[in-house]
Amino acid sequence: MKKIKGGVCAAKGFKANGIHCGIRKNKDKRDLALIMSDTDCAVASVYTQNKVKGAPIAVTKRNIADGKARAIVCNSGNANTCNFDGEQKAQAMCESVSKHTGIPASDVVVASTGVIGQPLDVTPIENGMQQLVDGLSTSGSTNAALAIMTTDTVVKEYAYSFVLDGKECHIGGIAKGSGMIHPNMATMLCFVTTDVNITSAMLDKALHKVVVDTFNMISVDGDTSTNDMLTVMSSCLAGNALIDDKGKNFNVFCKVLKKMLETLSRAIAKDGEGATKLIECKVAGAKSAKIARAIAKSVITSSLTKAALFAADANWGRILCAIGYTDADFDIDKIDVDLISKAGKIAVCRNGVGVEFDEDTAHTILLEDEITIFIDCHEGRAKATGWGCDLTYEYVKINAEYRT
């Protein structure tokens, strides 16, 4: 794999754009994005597991039931959730795309993000759609990425090239997510495009295979959003032999997709609301991947652990506590814990009990902006990684004032 430029426009056949149409009061912030393919695409999506779901999710599920799509439209500034006319408004967004592009409304993925429970006025969307469509370009990924952001502080946009059957293939993605992020799909909005020749059924299998070890392994605050959606579209224009079953090429594609989603997952966790540090929890030596994932999730979600790391305090007891209340079968008396950063590595726990360590050295290690908590269960060969962030004063301030 090679890192390249282009984001969601890196793959053959895709254009994108993002504009300010008037949903958000700040005219300097883009609030409407469109990603469009020149051809029909294979498509797959995963969604939030919250029982309260944004209206766009219901419309998108219907639209991609046939495994086909041509465009993704997304607004920020309003989640279109818990509104009596939500599905009607989401459908109107799809019809607006259809009106100005000729793409059937039933081939449009629709998403929204922002404040919950406020009626969505689609007038600005309809009025701005022609401008949005006119500005579509193969260099429009960044504008689209900016248009889906809410409390994000950095653009989350990546792309890679790779080879299948001697053909150069591409994959790119944009994502938004900074708060209301917790494991169990998809914990944000993410749109990925590729030109790999693959059926929608196998694209769906690949997505479900890799999401458990990527987006389902991040947490910022323990709150699972209502509008989470991860959609992957493929134009199938790369020229490789069609992937219609499991095998070598399918495995290569899964590896590439995992790399893309892992990159975006890390970016979301690092940009958590008010965050100053990325926290990576690596679990090794577990009896099963399920147990390893559960331990990692428990640690990255622990508010006490997150607060301690904000202060660069090596309070390893909080980590062990979070491991201990994990709902999984393992022997706590075999657990080892190390704290790692580019400043060094230090052991703080062996066989479930503390070991002597230099507090100043530990503090120096934890002052870095990327911290790894390494946990060895010494019971097997399974492993997992989770990503989170520290808990800061700024997180409370951002969410205390989010609506007002």
- DSSP 3-state helix, strand, coil percentages of the chain (rounded to 5)? 35, 30, 35
Q: State which amino acid sits at residue 46.
A: V
* DSSP states along 320-341: HHHHHT-SS---GGG-EEEEEE
How far is the CA of 101 from the CAs of 93, 244, 378, in angstroms?
A: 12, 30, 57
The helix (H) or strand (E) run that includes residue 237 is: none
Alpha-carbon gap, residue 98 to 95, rounded angstroms? 5
Which residue is catalytic, options 187, 226, 305, 372? 187
Q: How many CB atoms lie within 10 A of CB 84?
A: 8
How far is the CA of 308 from the CAs of 144, 221, 277, 319, 387, in angstroms?
A: 36, 15, 12, 10, 16
Q: Dihedrals φ, ψ of 315, to 5°?
A: -85, 75
Active site residue 187: yes
Please, are residues 170 and 12 in contact by the beta-carbon 8 Å criterion? yes
Q: Which residues are catalytic?
A: 187
